[in-house]
Amino acid sequence: MGAQSGQAAVEAAIVLPLFVFLILGILQLGLMHQARLMTKYAAYKAVRAGSLHNAKVEVMEKAALAVLMPMVSSRTGGADGFEVIRPVGSSQEFETKWNEVGNNQMAGVGLKYAEVTICGPTQEDIPANSPEFDFDDPKNTAPTGWRQSHRTKLRIQVTFNYRMVIPFADWVIYQAARGREIPSVLRMPKKPAPAPNKEPPGGKADGTYESAAQQGVYIMPIRATYNMRMQSNFYLNKHGLPEKNECLFPFKY
C-alpha cells in the first residue's frame, strides 16, 4: 500500500492539463466557428455597401466592422491584460464599443479588425480612357463572354482578423495553424517559436501576425467572399480599382 501512495496525484497531474486544454479548445473553436459565420454575413453587408457607394473600400470596411462588432475583442489592463469581448446587446453598448474600435485599428498590433480587398473588376476589365464606368449601360450589360459579364459585378473578400481570447488554447491553435511542431503542450515555452522561412498561411509576408504573437496577441485571419451587381458607377479617377486580383484563397497555401 505504501508503494501506491500519491498514485492518484500523479495521474491527476498528467490528465488534468490535457482535460483543461480539451475544454478550452472546444470553447475557442466554438467562438471561431461563430466568427466564421459572422464573417460571411459581413462580406454580404460590405459588398452591398460598396455597390451603393462606388466601391469605396473604407465604406465597405465600416459596414463589415459593424457586423463583426459582437466578436471584436480588446485588451484590458494594459499589455499584460486579458482579451475581453464586450457585449453588444443594445444600441448604447454598440455605440460605446464603436467609440473604442470604430477606427478599425488594433492598438499596438498594426492590423485592421476588418480588411476588404477588391477581387474584381480590375483595371484591365474597365476602359482606361473613361473616368466613369456606367454599370447599366446596354453595352456593358450585354457582354460577349464570361469575363465581360463580371465587369458590372463587385467582387470582394473580407478578412476578419480574429483575436483569440481563450488562454493557452489560443497559443496551441495558433502554433498548429502555422504548421509548427509543438514539442510538449505541458511545457509551454515563454516565447513562441521562430517564424518559418516562408510566407505564412495567412498571406502576411511581412510577419505582422508573428509580431502580434510576440506580444501575446494570437490572431487568426478568417476570410469570406461575396459578389453583387453594382448599383452605382465606378469612379476610376477618384478611388481606382486594383490592377489584378489580389484576393487570397486558402487552397493556394
Tens of pLDDT along the chain (253 residues) come to 556 667 888 888 888 888 888 899 999 999 999 999 999 999 999 999 999 998 899 999 999 999 999 999 876 655 555 677 888 889 999 999 999 899 999 888 889 999 999 998 887 777 666 667 777 776 666 556 666 677 788 999 999 999 998 888 888 888 888 765 555 544 444 445 444 444 444 444 447 888 888 888 899 999 999 999 888 887 765 566 788 887 876 543 3
Residue 200 lies in a domain: no
| pLDDT given at position 125 | 75
Residue 32 lies in a domain: yes
Strand pairing category for 114-120 and 153-163: antiparallel
Residue 116 vs residues 104, 130, 242: alpha-carbon distances, Å: 12, 25, 12
Whether 244 is covered by a domain: the verdict is no
Question: Is residue 62 in a domain?
Answer: yes
What's the confidence (pLDDT) of residue 128?
A: 65
Query: What is the amino acid identity at position 99?
Result: N
C-alpha–C-alpha distance, residues 116 and 58, integer Å: 8
Neighbouring C-alpha atoms within 13 Å toward the C-beta of 223: 16
Q: Within a domain: residue 247?
A: no
Residue 214: inside a domain, yes or no?
yes
Number of domains in the chain: 1
Residue span of the structural domain in which 48 resides: 3-186+205-235
Provide the pLDDT for residue 37: 96
* Pairwise CA distance, residues 65 & 41, whole Å: 11
In a domain, 169, yes or no: yes
Segment holding 33, helix H or strand E: helix 7-52
Q: Is residue 209 part of a domain?
A: yes
> Could you tell me the end-to-end alpha-carbon distance of the chain, in angstroms, rounded to an integer?
57
